[in-house]
C-alpha cells in the first residue's frame, strides 16, 4: 500500500524522541492525580474502586472472585464486564497489592492511556508520518476528548486504550503479511473486546472495517492477508470466547438484555455539543453544575436526553482542531488509509448524534447495537480517530510544498467562533460564554502560530516537536485539567478505604458482629447517603441487599424494584412484593440494618412510626434496625406451592411462618414435625465463602428443606453429603434443597463453567 504523503522530505526527528516528549507531557498532565491532590471521582470511585478492592481482597484471602455476596444479595462477578477480572493490568495489580489505593486505580487508567498514545506513535512511525504529527495524535488521544472528560468511566477508558495498540499491530500484520504480528493483534483485540461495552463494540466495527479495507485496497494479493487475519482471529477468539459467552448468559438473565430504539435515543449527543471542539468550557462544563447551560440543559428544550454534562464535551485541543481544518483544505486524497479514517469519523459522528440524524435509526439494525443505551459513547472512538486525522493534518502542513492555508484557517475559525457566540446569544447565556471563548481564542492563536511557522520549525531539528509538545501540554492542562467531573479531593471518598474511620461504617461493623450467629449473616442497606456509598460493602466485606451496577439480575429487579444505585433518597423505589422496609421480603432477605441519608420515613412512605428501631444518627446517616430480619439459612418443614410470577405481579405473600415454611413452584410437601423448642433453625452455617457455602443441617423426622436466602442463580450447584442435589427456587428469589431426616452436610458451590457447558451442549440438569 502506498504511504507517500507529501512532496517535501520528512523532518529528521525520531519517533523515539516524540515518545519521550509524550511521556514527559503525560507526567505533567497526570500529575494532579499522581500527586494524590485529587482523584478520579464518580463511577471510578463509586463503582470501579470497590470492584478493584473486592478483587484484591478475594485473591489475597485465597477465595475466588467469581461471585460476590456483598451486593445485590449475590452477583456473578465472573460474567460482569465491569468486575475487572478480565482486565489484565487491574488483575495483576490486585494480585500484587492487597489494599489497592485510589492513586493505584487512577495510575493504571493513566498508564493505559499512555500505552495507547505510544502505540499511536508507533503506528505513525510505520506509516512514515512525521514524529511531530505522531506526538500531536498521541496527546490528543490520551488527554483530549472523551478520554479526558469521561475518565471516570474506567471500563470505557480501558476499552479505548486498547484501540491504538490493536490498530498498530493489525496494520503491521497487514503491512508485512505476517501471521506472527496477526497473532499479536488478535491478543490485543481480545483485551479490547473484553471491555464488553459500547466503546469496545464500536472499535471492533472500525477495526474490522479497516481490515477489510486494507485487504481490498493494498497492492498485495488478497490471499496473502489470510494468514495474519486467521492467526489474529484464532488467538483473539481463544481468549474471549468464554468470558463473552458468560456475559451473554448474564445479559439474558439481566435487567437489560436489550435496549429499545427510543431508550437508546435518550443518550444522543446534541449537535450543539460539537462546539466544545472549539471551546472546552463554552457551556461551563468544568464549573458548578448550577452554572452549566449546555445540552441537555433545559434551555435546549431536550428533557428527553439523559446525559451527564461531561459526556457532551469533546475538546481535543486547539492545535488538533486547526490541523483538522487544514486537512480539509489539502492532503485528504493523498493517502488512502487517511481517507478510510475520514469515513470512519463521519460514521462515528452520525452514530453519536443519535436522534438528531436519520442515520442512527438505520444503524440500530446492526447486530449488537441494541445492547447499549448511549449513542454518545461513540465520542470515545470518534475522538481517537480525529486524533489520527489531526496528526496527519499537521504532518501535511509541516511538509507540504505550499504554505499553510492561513486565510482558510482564519475564515473557518471565524465561522466556528461566530456560531458559538450566536448560540450563546440565542440561549441568553452570552455573558457566561464570553470568558471561555476569550480563553479559547488565546489557545487558538497560539496554535495558529505553530501552524503558520510549522514548515520553518520542521527544518530545525526538534523545534516543531518541542512546539507541539509545549503547546499541547499547556492547552490540555488548562482546558482539560482537573474539574468537578474528573477530579475531586480523595478525602471525599474516605468511606471507600479499607481502613476508614467513618462512624457509620464502624457502627454497622460493630452491630453486624454483635448479631452474628451460626445461622445468621445479616444484610444492610445504604440508601440516599451519597453517590459513592452503595458499593462500600464490596470494600468492607459485609453484605448489602442492593448496590451500584447498571447490570443486575432480572429476578432481583422484578422482585424488589431495585434501580442502578441508591445515591439519592428518591432512587430507592419499592415493588409490590417489597412495599416497605417492614415487609416479608425485607425479612427474608435478612435486611437487619438500614443506613439512610435522610430520615427513613422520607424514603419509605409506607413505614409506620416505630416500624423500625432507630439506632443512631451518625455524621452521614440515620441508622435503623429491623429485628424481624430472618437468618441467612433456615430449615423449613412445610412447603407450599405458589406461582412466583403472579406473586411478583400482585405482591401478595401467603400468611405463613417463613422460619418453618417455604414457597416453591413444585407440588407442596408438608412436613408435620418441627425442630425442638430452643433450636435456632436446625441449620447452621459452617463456612461461608464467595463461591462456596457449607451448611450443617439437623433435619427432624419427615425431612424438610434447607433454605439459603441468597439470590437464586442457575450456576450455583448443591451437594448433600457429597452427592449432587437439585437447587429449587424458593420464596420467589432464593435457594432451597430438599433434605431427608438426619444430620447432613449441604454444600452450595458456584460452578459457572459447568452451567455454561450445560447450556452449550443443551443438557438438562
Residue range 539-548, pLDDT digits in tens? 999 999 999 9
Pairing label, strands 723-725, 716-720: antiparallel
Residue range 40-86, pLDDT digits in tens? 999 999 999 999 999 999 999 999 999 999 999 999 999 999 999 99
Tell whether the model's pLDDT for residue 332 goes beyond 60: no
**Predicted pLDDT of residue 609:** 83
**Predicted pLDDT of residue 679:** 46
How far apart CA 314 and CA 382 sit, in angstroms, is 9
Residue range 293-311, pLDDT digits in tens? 999 888 988 678 899 999 9
Average pLDDT, the chain: 94
- What is the phi/psi pair of residue 99, to 5°? -130, 90
Helical H segments across 295-335, by residue range: 318-329
Contact by Cβ (8 Å): 268, 375: yes
Tell whether the model's pLDDT for residue 288 goes beyond 70: yes
**Which residues, 6 or more positions from 237, have their beta carbon under 8 angstroms from its beta carbon?**
186, 190
- Max distance between CA atoms of the chain, in angstroms, equals 97
**Which residues, 6 or more positions from 747, have their beta carbon under 8 angstroms from its beta carbon?**
692, 693, 694, 695, 718, 719, 720, 722
**Predicted pLDDT of residue 3:** 41
Tell whether the model's pLDDT for residue 102 goes beyond 70: yes
Instruction: Give all strands of the β-sheet with 742-750 in edge-to-edge order.
Output: 683-688, 692-699, 742-750, 716-720, 723-725
Reading phi first (left if > 0) and then psi (alpha if -120 to 50, else beta), residue 613 is in beta
Q: pLDDT-based confidence at 184, cuts 50/70/90?
A: very high
Pairing label, strands 523-527, 543-544: parallel
How many angstroms separate the Cα of 604 from the Cα of each of 562, 626, 692?
Answer: 14, 14, 34
How far apart CA 638 and CA 46 sit, in angstroms, is 42
- Tell me what the mean pLDDT of segment 509-526 comes to: 97
Contacts 24+ apart (CB under 8 A), 86-92: 86/194, 86/243, 87/158, 87/194, 88/191, 89/158, 90/52, 90/55, 91/55
* DSSP one-letter code for 711: -
**Predicted pLDDT of residue 765:** 54
**Predicted pLDDT of residue 401:** 83
Which residue's entry shows cell 493517502?
A: 335
- Kindly report the pTM of this predicted structure: 0.94
**Predicted pLDDT of residue 6:** 41
**Predicted pLDDT of residue 666:** 81
Tell whether the model's pLDDT for residue 386 goes beyond 50: yes
CA 471 centroid distance within chain: 32
Contact by Cβ (8 Å): 404, 327: no
Residue 577: strand, helix, or coil = coil
Q: Would you state the cell numbers that stand for residue 24, as one nine-digit string?
A: 514527559
Tell whether the model's pLDDT for residue 584 goes beyond 90: yes
Half-sphere exposure of 650 (CA within 13 A, CB side): 8
- What is the phi/psi pair of residue 468, to 5°? -65, -45
Three-state secondary structure of 497-511: CCCCCCHHHHHHHHH
- Tell me what the mean pLDDT of segment 318-327 comes to: 97
As a whole-number percent, the residues of the chain with pLDDT over 90 amount to: 87
CB atoms within 10 A of CB 723: 8
Contact by Cβ (8 Å): 120, 392: no
**Predicted pLDDT of residue 148:** 98
Q: Would you state the cell numbers that stand for residue 332, as one nine-digit string?
A: 485528504
Tell whether the model's pLDDT for residue 680 goes beyond 50: no
How far apart CA 228 and CA 699 sit, in angstroms, is 62
Residue of 460 and 135 predicted with greater confidence: 135
Contact by Cβ (8 Å): 752, 79: yes
How far apart CA 348 and CA 380 sit, in angstroms, is 9
Residue range 601-615, pLDDT digits in tens? 999 999 988 889 999
How far apart CA 121 and CA 116 sit, in angstroms, is 9
How far apart CA 508 and CA 514 sit, in angstroms, is 10
**Predicted pLDDT of residue 333:** 52
**SS3 breakdown of the chain: % helix, strand, coil, rounded to 5?**
55, 10, 35
CB atoms within 10 A of CB 176: 14
**Predicted pLDDT of residue 287:** 86
Contact by Cβ (8 Å): 531, 46: yes
Length of the chain, in residues: 765
**Predicted pLDDT of residue 298:** 86
**Which residues, 6 or more positions from 378, have their beta carbon under 8 angstroms from its beta carbon?**
198, 202, 269, 348, 349, 351, 352
Angle of helix 102-127 versus helix 88-96 axis, rounded to 10: 140
Instruction: Give all strands of the β-sheet with 728-730 in edge-to-edge order.
Output: 633-636, 704-708, 734-739, 728-730, 661-664, 638-641
**Predicted pLDDT of residue 192:** 98
**Predicted pLDDT of residue 373:** 87
Q: Would you state the cell numbers that stand for residue 392, as one nine-digit string?
A: 496527519
- Tell me what the mean pLDDT of segment 192-212 comes to: 97
Helical H segments across 177-220, by residue range: 179-193, 198-217
Which residue's entry shows cell 485473591?
A: 59
CA 169 centroid distance within chain: 25
**Predicted pLDDT of residue 764:** 55
Pairing label, strands 543-544, 622-625: unpaired
Strand spans (E) along 108-242: none
Q: pLDDT-based confidence at 255, cuts 50/70/90?
A: confident
Tell whether the model's pLDDT for residue 279 goes beyond 80: yes
Q: Would you state the cell numbers that stand for residue 59, as one nine-digit string?
A: 485473591
Tell whether the model's pLDDT for residue 466 goes beyond 70: yes
Of the ranges 85-89, 257-261, 591-595, 687-691, which one carries the lowest mean pLDDT score? 257-261
Q: pLDDT-based confidence at 676, cuts 50/70/90?
A: low
**Which residues, 6 or more positions from 215, have their beta carbon under 8 angstroms from its beta carbon?**
174, 222, 225, 229
Tell whether the model's pLDDT for residue 523 goes beyond 70: yes
How far apart CA 588 and CA 730 sit, in angstroms, is 11
Contact by Cβ (8 Å): 188, 239: no
CB atoms within 10 A of CB 498: 14
Tell whether the model's pLDDT for residue 218 goes beyond 70: yes
How far apart CA 316 and CA 369 sit, in angstroms, is 26
Q: pLDDT-based confidence at 677, cuts 50/70/90?
A: low
**Predicted pLDDT of residue 9:** 43
Amino acid at each position: 500500500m502506498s504511504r507517500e504523503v507529501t512532496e517535501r522530505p520528512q523532518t529528521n526527528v525520531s519517533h523515539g524522541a516524540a515518545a519521550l516528549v509524550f511521556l514527559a507531557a503525560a507526567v505533567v498532565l497526570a500529575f494532579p492525580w499522581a500527586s494524590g491532590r485529587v482523584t478520579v471521582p464518580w463511577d471510578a470511585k463509586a463503582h470501579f474502586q470497590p470492584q478493584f478492592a473486592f478483587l484484591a481482597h478475594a485473591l489475597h484471602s485465597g477465595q475466588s472472585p467469581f461471585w460476590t455476596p456483598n451486593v445485590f444479595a449475590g452477583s456473578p462477578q465472573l460474567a460482569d464486564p465491569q468486575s475487572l477480572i478480565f482486565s489484565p493490568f487491574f488483575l495483576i495489580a490486585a494480585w500484587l497489592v492487597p489494599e489497592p489505593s485510589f492513586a493505584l486505580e487512577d495510575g493504571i487508567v493513566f498508564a493505559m492511556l499512555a500505552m495507547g498514545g505510544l502505540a499511536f506513535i508507533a503506528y505513525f512511525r510505520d506509516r512514515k508520518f512525521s514524529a511531530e504529527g505522531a506526538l500531536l495524535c498521541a496527546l490528543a488521544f490520551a488527554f483530549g476528548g472523551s478520554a479526558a472528560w469521561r475518565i471516570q468511566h474506567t471500563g470505557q477508558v480501558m476499552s479505548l486504550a486498547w484501540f491504538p495498540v490493536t490498530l498498530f499491530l493489525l496494520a503491521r500484520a497487514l503491512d508485512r503479511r505476517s501471521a506472527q504480528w496477526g497473532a499479536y493483534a488478535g491478543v490485543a483485540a481480545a483485551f479490547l473486546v473484553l471491555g464488553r461495552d459500547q466503546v469496545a463494540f464500536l472499535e471492533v466495527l472500525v477495526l474490522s472495517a479497516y481490515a477489510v479495507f486494507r485487504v481490498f485496497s493494498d497492492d498485495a494479493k488478497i490471499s496473502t492477508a489470510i494468514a495474519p487475519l486467521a492467526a489474529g482471529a484464532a488467538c483473539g477468539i481463544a481468549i474471549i470466547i468464554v468470558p463473552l459467552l458468560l456475559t451473554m448468559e448474564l445479559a439474558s438473565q439481566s435487567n437489560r438484555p436489550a435496549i429499545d430504539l427510543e431508550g437508546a435515543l435518550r443518550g444522543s449527543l446534541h449537535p450543539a455539543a460539537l462546539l466544545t471542539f472549539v471551546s472546552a468550557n463554552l457551556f461551563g462544563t468544568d464549573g458548578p453544575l448550577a452554572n452549566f447551560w449546555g445540552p441537555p440543559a433545559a434551555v435546549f428544550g431536550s428533557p428527553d436526553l439523559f446525559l451527564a454534562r461531561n459526556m457532551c464535551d469533546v475538546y481535543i485541543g486547539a492545535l488538533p482542531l486547526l490541523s483538522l481544518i487544514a486537512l480539509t483544505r489539502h492532503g485528504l486524497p493523498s493517502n488512502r488509509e487517511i481517507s478510510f479514517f475520514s469515513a470512519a469519523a463521519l460514521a462515528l459522528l452520525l452514530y453519536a448524534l443519535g436522534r438528531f440524524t436519520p442515520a442512527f435509526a438505520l444503524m440500530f439494525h446492526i447486530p449488537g447495537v441494541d445492547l447499549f443505551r448511549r449513542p454518545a459513547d461513540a465520542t470515545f472512538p470518534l475522538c481517537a480517530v480525529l486524533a489520527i486525522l489531526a496528526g496527519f493534518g499537521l504532518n501535511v502542513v509541516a511538509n507540504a510544498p505550499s504554505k499553510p492555508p492561513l486565510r482558510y484557517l482564519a475564515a473557518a475559525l471565524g465561522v466556528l467562533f461566530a456560531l458559538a457566540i450566536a448560540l450563546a446569544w440565542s440561549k441568553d447565556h452570552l455573558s457566561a460564554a464570553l470568558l471561555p471563548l476569550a480563553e479559547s481564542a488565546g489557545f487558538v492563536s497560539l496554535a495558529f502560530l505553530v501552524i503558520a511557522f510549522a514548515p520553518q520549525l520542521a527544518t530545525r531539528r526538534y523545534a516543531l516537536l518541542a512546539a507541539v509538545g509545549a503547546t499541547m501540554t499547556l492547552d490540555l492542562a488548562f482546558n482539560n485539567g482537573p474539574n468537578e467531573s474528573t477530579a475531586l479531593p480523595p478525602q471525599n471518598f474516605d468511606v471507600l478505604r479499607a481502613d476508614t474511620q467513618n462512624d457509620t461504617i464502624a457502627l454497622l461493623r460493630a452491630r453486624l458482629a454483635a448479631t452474628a450467629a451460626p445461622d445468621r449473616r445479616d444484610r444492610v442497606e445504604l440508601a440516599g447517603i451519597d453517590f459513592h456509598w452503595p458499593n462500600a460493602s464490596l470494600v468492607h466485606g459485609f453484605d448489602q441487599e442492593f448496590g451500584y451496577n447498571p447490570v443486575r439480575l432480572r429476578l432481583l429487579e422484578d422482585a424488589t424494584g431495585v434501580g442502578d444505585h441508591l445515591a439519592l433518597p428518591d432512587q430507592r423505589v419499592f415493588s409490590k412484593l417489597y412495599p416497605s422496609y417492614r415487609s416479608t421480603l425485607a425479612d427474608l432477605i435478612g435486611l437487619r440494618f438500614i443506613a439512610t441519608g435522610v430520615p427513613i420515613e422520607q424514603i419509605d412512605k409506607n413505614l409506620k412510626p416505630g416500624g423500625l428501631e432507630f439506632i443512631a444518627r451518625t455524621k452521614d446517616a440515620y441508622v435503623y434496625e429491623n429485628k424481624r430480619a430472618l437468618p441467612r439459612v433456615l430449615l423449613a418443614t412445610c412447603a407450599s406451592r405458589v406461582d412466583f410470577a403472579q406473586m411478583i405481579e400482585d405482591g401478595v405473600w401467603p400468611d405463613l411462618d417463613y422460619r418453618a415454611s417455604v414457597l416453591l413452584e413444585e407440588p407442596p410437601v408438608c412436613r408435620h414435625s418441627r425442630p425442638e423448642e430452643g433450636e435456632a433453625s436446625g441449620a447452621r452455617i459452617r463456612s461461608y465463602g464467595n463461591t462456596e457455602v457449607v451448611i450443617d443441617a439437623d433435619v427432624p423426622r419427615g425431612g424438610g428443606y434447607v433454605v439459603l436466602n441468597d439470590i437464586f442463580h442457575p450456576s450455583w450447584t448443591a451437594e448433600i453429603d457429597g452427592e449432587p442435589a437439585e437447587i429449587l427456587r424458593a420464596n420467589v428469589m432464593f435457594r432451597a434443597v430438599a433434605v431427608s431426616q438426619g444430620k447432613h452436610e449441604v454444600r452450595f458451590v458456584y460452578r459457572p463453567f459447568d452451567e455454561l457447558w450445560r447450556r452449550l451442549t443443551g443438557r438438562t440438569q
